[in-house]
Each structure stands twice: as structure tokens, then as C-alpha cells.
Amino acid sequence: MQRGTFQLMKSVNKSIILNKIRTAEPISRAQIAKETSLTPPTVSSIVKELMEQGLVRESVLGNSSGGRKPTMLHINTDAFYVIGVDAGPENVECVLTDLTGTILQRTSKVLENPLTNEQFLADLKETIFALLQSSEADQEKIIGIGVAMHGVVNVNTGTSLIAPILNLRNIPIKEVLEEEFNLAVKVENDARAMALGESWFGGHGDADSMVAVNIGRGVGAGIVMNGKLYHGAQGIAGEFGHMTIDINGEECECGNRGCLQTFVSGTAIAKRAEKQLKEQNGNLTGKDVFDLAESGSQSCVDLLEETGHVIGVGLTNLIHLINPGEIVLGGGVMKSEKFLMPAALAAIQQKVLTPDARETHVTVSRLGDEATLLGAVSLLLVELFDPVMQIG
């Protein structure tokens, strides 16, 4: 679907009705009017338009009080498709989904360092082309591409300003991909995309304030406040991994010392384990540390529990600063949940200021490895279903 076509589909009332059908289906026209305060003629007119566009279908499922059964409305999930991209820092993962986030096709490519901006963009295009070539979906029904990118992103221009792990700057992702594929492109920081994916697909209900923390090769957070994704004044809100924990600590990839990321990322965990285990060959990974802990290595168990404590200290700072109703943890490091979470939760209970704040709901993402990819998909779904959530 060409960019202009997607823009014409959107209006505030249309999005309100679409989102109501999405969250409450099956639902009747009368119930939509009652719950949205829109007039019945407005609802009927917009539903007719949505059905003509193929976004909504109807069925006779409602209960009757004696007369004709009401016609119920549903989202036509395969009316359109979305491409989601998780861009780095080690791989490019790419999926094609329907409007429910069901993954229909996937491709991936390993990023080989050192990279230039041009090579990175070429890898992105190659992975998306491979997805399109392998999919049987009608490509005219693709409404756009969502890209989750690590580091600092200018969401207005779709530019990756700083990608510290890849050592790249000022990558014009949106400009290049829109020119190449003639589709709407949305680019977002990966942790913020993950937060959006969690709010969209994570089963958290109507969480009005939520923080999603992504702990993997790097560490970042996405903040949802008053139902909106929060970016901050200069677009760097959520750089949780660069919270200073030890002013005399190790140098971080960002150039500062003692960042949280230097303690709890997968790379940091492996580095500490090599020192403790006297393994100097540099071959350990965070997953290796988890496997060793699982097989009974007490030193690795202790190391992961210590890491969990540090994560808890960071989360306590987050609770004191933002006071979210819910914190969701994801990323590769959280696959060590059984060793990390008890220590993290204990640290929060010990250090948080008030009894009520101790009740902050802290969980591990149920979306697993798909959280960021589905977040990238959500960047387009929000535009279609709930545009007011996008700005903050």
C-alpha cells in the first residue's frame, strides 16, 4: 500500500471506532455508540466506510431480546499487513504480521562489524527484500514498515542519531527505506518500541503508566505515561542503561563510567564471569553463564544473583523517579529470570521508599524474543488504531 493511501485511511473518529472494535470484539454498532459517546449515525457511517476498506467484517453473534439478533463487528485481521524490523545490534530480524501481530513470515541477517552507515542500510534493505520475496501475502496490503533501532533515535525524521554498540551515527533509516519500498516507515528506539509492543500485545490490560526495560546486549527502557509513549524533550527518555551506578566504574560504550549497562548487560555478565572463572579467552557469553549456573556452578549462580541485585537497585531508582504502575523486563539477559528476579525483587523491597511503592508490579515479558519485533509492528498499528498514543 502506497504511503498516501495509508494516510487517507486515518481520522480520529475512525481510529476510535477501530480501536473499540479491536479491544472489545465482537461488538455491536449500538454498543460502540454507547461506549464512545459518538452518535449512532456517525458510528454507522464510519463502520460502513471501514467495511468498504476491508478493515472490519460483521457476523450475527449477538444476543437478542426477542427481535432480530444484532450484527456484531470484528477486525478483519488479514485485511492488511505490517513489516516489523528489529535492527541490531547483532542481527537484523524482520517479520511480516497481520493486524493481530500474528507472525506470518520471518527473515534475519547477521550484522558483521565493522559497519558503515551504507552497509547497515544495505543489510536492512536486503533483509526486507528477502521477506517480501519469501511471502505469499498480497504486498499491496502492506501498510508500512516499523523499525526498532538501538540507541538514540529522532522519531520525527526517522534518523538513528547514535547507535553506540555499532559505532554509527546519523543513519537516515526512514528516508532510505521509504524511497526504496514506497511505504510508510516509522523508526523508534528499540526499548520504547518494546514498551509499545508490551502495551499492545503483552496482556497488561489498560496499564496507564508502564515501563518496559530491555536488558540484552545493551540496556534501555520505554516509558508509557498517561497512555502515551514518552520521548522526553530531546528524545532520550528511557536511556536507563546509562544511569550512573558507580562514578569510578568501568568505561561504558557511551564514554561515561559506571553505567548500569556495564554491570547487567549480557556482555558485562560474561566479562565478570571470565574474571571469576579465570577464563581469559574471551569466549564466554551471557548464555554460557546461565548454562553453567543451571549445571550447578555456584560461582555463576552467585554472579547472576549479584546481577539481579544491581538490576533491583536500578529499578528502585526508576520507581522513585517515575513511579510506574508496572515494570516489564525483557531481553536476552532475562532468560536467566530464575536467578535474577528473586534478587531484583528483594532489592526493591529493601530499598524502595514507601510501602505502597513496594507493590509496584514487576514482571518478565511474556512476549519473550518477539517483544521488540512486535513493538516495531505496533508503531504502524498505533498509527492506524490509536494515533493519540504515539506522541509524548
Residue 350: which CATH number? 3.30.420.40
Question: What is the predicted pLDDT for the residue at 387?
Answer: 54
Structural domain span for residue 171: 81-196+372-389
**Mean pLDDT, to the nearest integer, of 48-59?**
89
First vs last Cα of the chain: how many Å apart? 28
- Judge if 305 and 343 occupy the same domain: yes
- Judge if 348 and 311 occupy the same domain: yes
The Cα 374–Cα 362 span in angstroms is 20
The radius of gyration computed from the CA coordinates of the chain, to the nearest angstrom, equals 22
The Cα 185–Cα 142 span in angstroms is 11
Question: What is the predicted pLDDT for the residue at 282?
Answer: 62
φ, ψ of residue 52 to 5 degrees: the values are -65, -35
pTM: 0.81
**Mean pLDDT, to the nearest integer, of 42-59?**
90
- Judge if 93 and 179 occupy the same domain: yes
DSSP-derived 3-state class of residue 302: helix
**What's the pLDDT tens digit per position in 314-342?**
999 999 999 998 999 999 999 999 999 99
- Judge if 182 and 261 occupy the same domain: no
- Judge if 8 and 115 occupy the same domain: no
Where b means 16+ CB within 10 Å and e means fewer, 234-271 reads eeebbbbbbbebeeeeeebbbeeebbbbbbbbbbbbbe
Which one of 42, 75, 108 terminates a domain? 75
Q: How many domains does the chain have?
A: 3
- Judge if 284 and 229 occupy the same domain: yes
**What's the pLDDT tens digit per position in 351-372?**
999 999 999 999 999 888 888 9
- Judge if 7 and 110 occupy the same domain: no
- Judge if 300 and 185 occupy the same domain: no
- Judge if 353 and 254 occupy the same domain: yes
- Give 119's DSSP letter: H
Question: What is the predicted pLDDT for the residue at 113?
Answer: 82
- Judge if 70 and 85 occupy the same domain: no
Is it the case that residue 103 has pLDDT exceeding 90? yes
- Judge if 174 and 103 occupy the same domain: yes
Q: Find the CATH number of the domain harbouring 20.
A: 1.10.10.10
